[in-house]
Amino acid sequence: MRRAPTRSARWSLLPARWSLPSSCLLWLALAVPAWSAEATRFAVRAVELHGIVARVTITVTEDQSAVEWLASDAARQAYRFEIDHDTLCIAPRQAVVGGGTFASGGVTVTQSGSNNSVAVTIGGPGAAVTASSAPLPPLELRVPRHLPLKITAAGGSWQIGDTDGPLALSLAAGAARIGRVRSAQLLIQGSGTLHAARVDDALVASVNGSGEVRVATSRLETLDATVAGSGTIQVGGVARVARVAIQGVGTVALERAIERPWVQVDGVGTVRIGGW
C-alpha cells in the first residue's frame, strides 16, 4: 500500500518556485481500475483529476454523500480511475500535455493541448497519409457539497458548480467557470481563463503567461496574487490581507483591502487596490 501524502502536500498547487505536484502521478503509469465497468458511485472524501483536456462538468448534489460518475461507453474506455486513501483519482488512459508540431524525415506529429488529440502525417504534399486520435469524450461528475477538489494540468472547457468546498485548479489551456468555493488555489500556465462566482476564506491566484483569473465577489481573510508575464487577476469583494507580486506587464486588481497591502512590482505591471 502506498504511503498517504500529507494534507499540505496533497492540496498545495503552489509550493516553492511554483512547481505543480500531483499525488496521482505514480498511479498514472501503474494503476488499473479497481471495480467493474458498471460501477458509477464512489464513497470517497476528495476527488483529484489530472491531465484531462475535455469538456468537464462537475455539479453538486444535495441528496447523496457519494461521488457519481455519469459514464458513457466512450468515457469508460478513455478514463482511468483509482481510489487512493479515500481520494478518487481520475486521469485519461493516454494523455497529451501541451501542444505543438514536430517534423522529422517526412513524418509530422501534431499535438493539440486544446482537445487532447494527436495527428500523425507521413509523406509530403500530394502523397501524405494522416491518422488522428480522437479527442477525449465529455466527463460528467456529481459530487456532494463541500467535497474537496484538486485539478491539475487541465484543459478544454470546465464547468464547476457551487461546491462551497476547497478547490485547487491548475489550467494549462482552455477555460473554466466556477461557482461558489472556499479556500481556492487558481493557477494558469499559459493563456487560459478562470472565472469564479465567489471565493471565501482564502485565495491564491497565479498567472504565468497571458491568462486571466476573475473572481466576481469574495470575502477573504487572505489574498495572494502573482502574475509573471502579461496576465490579469481581478478580484471583487474584500480581503483583510492582500499580497501582490508582478513580474512583467501584468495587472492585479482588488476591490478593497482592509489592512495595508504588500505589493512588489518588477517591470511595468499595474496594481489597483481599493482603499489604498
Residue type, 135: P
Mean pLDDT for 67-79 is 91
- Give pLDDT tens digits for 17-62: 334 344 454 444 344 343 334 448 999 999 999 999 999 999 999 8
What is residue 107's predicted lDDT score, i.e. its pLDDT?
52
Alpha carbon distance 189, 59 (integer Å):
25
Q: Where are the domains of the chain?
A: 22-95+136-273, 100-132
pLDDT band per the 50, 70, 90 thresholds, residue 121 = low
**pLDDT at 79 > cutoff 60:** yes
71-78 long-range contacts, CB within 8 A, separation 24+: 71/40, 72/137, 72/138, 74/137, 75/137, 75/138, 75/139, 76/37, 78/136, 78/137
**pLDDT at 168 > cutoff 80:** yes
Q: Which fold has domain 22-95+136-273?
A: Pectate Lyase C-like (2.160.20)
Average pLDDT of the chain is: 82
Alpha carbon distance 98, 113 (integer Å):
5
CA atoms within 13 A on the CB side of 92: 24
pLDDT band per the 50, 70, 90 thresholds, residue 96 = low
Q: Scanning the structure block, which residue is given the C-alpha cell 444535495? A: 62
**pLDDT at 74 > cutoff 70:** yes
